[in-house]
Amino acid sequence: MLRKNKEIESTLNKLQSTQAQLIQSEKMASLGELTAGIAHEIQNPLNFINNFAEVNAELIDELNESIEKNDLSEVKSISGNIKDNESKIIFHGKRADAIVKGMLQHSRSSNGQKEPTDINALADEYLRLAYHGLRAKDKTFNATLKTEYDPAIGLINIVPQDIGRVILNLITNAFYAVSTPKSPKGDLTYTPTVSIKTNLIKSPSGDLGAKRSIGDSGIEKIEISVSDNGPGIPKSVLDKIFQPFFTTKPTGQGTGLGLSLSYDIVKAHGGELRVETKEGDGTEFIISLPA
Amino acid sequence: MNILVVDDERDVQILFEQRFRKEIKNNEIEFAFAFSGEEALQYLNDNNHGAVLILSDINMPGMSGLELLRHIKEKYNAPPPLVMMITAYGDAENYNTAMRLGADDFLTKPVEFNVLKEKLKAIQ
Ligand SMILES: Nc1ncnc2c1ncn2[C@@H]1O[C@H](COP(=O)(O)OP(=O)(O)O)[C@@H](O)[C@H]1O
Ligand SMILES: [Mg+2]
């Protein structure tokens, strides 16, 4: 009996460590998607930094010439330009910095700490990274991105790396859905479109239904919606999509872990992840979180 | 020469104004800026196709640079302005599409301003 218990315990341990490895490898896979996007995103601020620095070097030469000529008004105008460029250099330096920090945050295992987070900025960052990541891998990929960020949201207490991963998973799935060969309706006017929306939802009477998943004291929740105009999800598939390892994608293209991990993360935040889909029309995933 | 620069990165305006400050001061080049393909078309409509040359980014949200190019080359044929496409992805696909749609030149980011200035001189 004791030996049996020991055996079971050791098997359980092995399973747990395998699971942790799988989760880590899913994380690294999505990091892989991101690196190309990150490289592209950093390129823009770096170009600005290099360019404005070069312009400033030229301007300083001109400044010295104007000093020689005692042309005070020209000196003032040039030094004003130098100062403006300097602030651009600082701005784009910080922008590159934030991108690298975001990347590190994503690969680091989350410390599980909740912190007040700007949901709109988080969503936008992952949208851009995912888009450029895919574009860099598949040059023919193109999609219209629509964003609608509710400015009233403010800061929400979440584990940013975790919710970031959920958003990334949903966006990656949406891009895949709109890029499947041949548009869903086969018409030539089809424009692959992925939209991300955020919403602060106020409930005047605290009337969010009996099984509401937000904290009891909360009368507000936020929603992050990721939608696409892809093929939609057939009924036969719909009740399986949140199961671990369920995938309809060819080997190597899907792990089937994205939605199940996303579901767990949102649950751990006291929120809800739901899906609305219509075959031939598209799919919308909605994350709702207590505000 | 009238140049319309189209890019969704707003600081491109300040950068061009600084990089070409001498040319602007000497009235050799006049710049206009649009921050999306849609804005660019609006500008061209409002200003009776005022631009001689259009420098457009390809990868923009909404109307892409390639779509803009197609609109311009289809609509304004008397004669259409020159269009130079700029992209961060120097791939064959974009290049071929741009050329097929009638682009007059193709540059990759980061833009080498010396090279660009040479090209502009050749046009003038
Ligand atoms: N936006 C979507 N449109 C259509 N089907 C989707 C969408 N998102 C998810 N799915 C379906 O759910 C399955 C599981 O998704 P996920 O857990 O992220 O794993 P994976 O993306 O690795 O397949 C996908 O294989 C696909 O069949
Ligand atoms: Mg997935």
Residue nearest to atom 25 of ligand 1 (CA): A247
Query: Beta-carbon neighbour count of residue A91 at 10 Å?
Result: 14
Report d(CA A288, CA A268) in Å as an integer.
Answer: 12
Give the structural domain span for A21.
2-104
Q: Does A76 reside within a domain?
A: yes
* Predicted local confidence at residue A158, as pLDDT: 94
The answer to whether residues A130 and A34 touch, using CB atoms and an 8 Å cutoff, is yes
Residue B81 DSSP one-character state: P
Q: E strand or H helix at A201, and its extent? A: strand A193-202
Q: Is A160 exposed, middle or buried (0-12, 13-18, 19+ CB in 10 A)?
A: buried
**Residue whose tokens read 């090209």:** B119
Question: Closest Cα partner for A195 from A225, A155, A154?
Answer: A225
Q: Is residue A281 part of a domain?
A: yes
Kindly state whether residues A50 and A84 are assigned to the same domain. yes
Quick one: A201 and A180 in the same domain? yes
Domain boundaries, chain B: 2-112
Confidence of residue A241 (pLDDT cuts 50, 70, 90): very high
Q: For residue range A243-288, list pLDDT tens digits in order.
A: 988 999 987 778 888 999 999 999 999 999 999 999 999 999 999 9
Residue A111 lies in a domain: no
A110 is a domain residue? no
Q: Mark which of A104, A136, A168 sits at the end of a domain.
A: A104
Report the length, in residues, of chain A: 291
pLDDT for A189 equals: 73
- Looking at the structure, do residues A46 and A124 belong to the same domain, yes or no? no
Per-residue pLDDT, B12 = 95
Same domain? For A236 and A281 the reply is yes
Is residue A112 situated within a structural domain? Answer: no
A213 domain-assigned: yes
pLDDT of the residue at A209 = 47
What band does A9 get if pLDDT is binned at 50, 70 and 90? confident
Could you tell me the pLDDT band of residue A227, with boundaries at 50, 70 and 90? very high
pTM: 0.63
Separation of alpha carbons A160 and A117, rounded Å: 7
What pLDDT is attached to residue A237? 95
Ligand 1 mutation target, pool A27, A172, A241, most atoms within 8 A of CB? A241
The structural domain count of chain A equals 2
Mark whether A57 and A10 lie in a shared domain: yes
> Which CATH class, in words, describes the domain spanning B2-112?
alpha beta
Same domain, A15 and A37: yes
Tell me which of A41, A76, A104 is where a domain ends. A104
Distance CA A273, CA A219 (A): 18
Distance from CA of A4 to the nearest CA of B (A): 60
Instruction: Note the pLDDT of residue A27.
Output: 64
Ligand (nearest to CA of A276) = 1
Whether ipTM tops 0.90, in short, is: no
- Residue B81: asked if its preceding bond is cis (omega within 30°), the reply is no
Q: How many angstroms is it from A259 CA to the middle of ligand 1? A: 7
Q: Which of A82, A104, A126 is the last residue of a domain?
A: A104
Residue A246 CB–ligand 1 contact under 6 Å: yes
Whole-number pLDDT of residue B47? 84
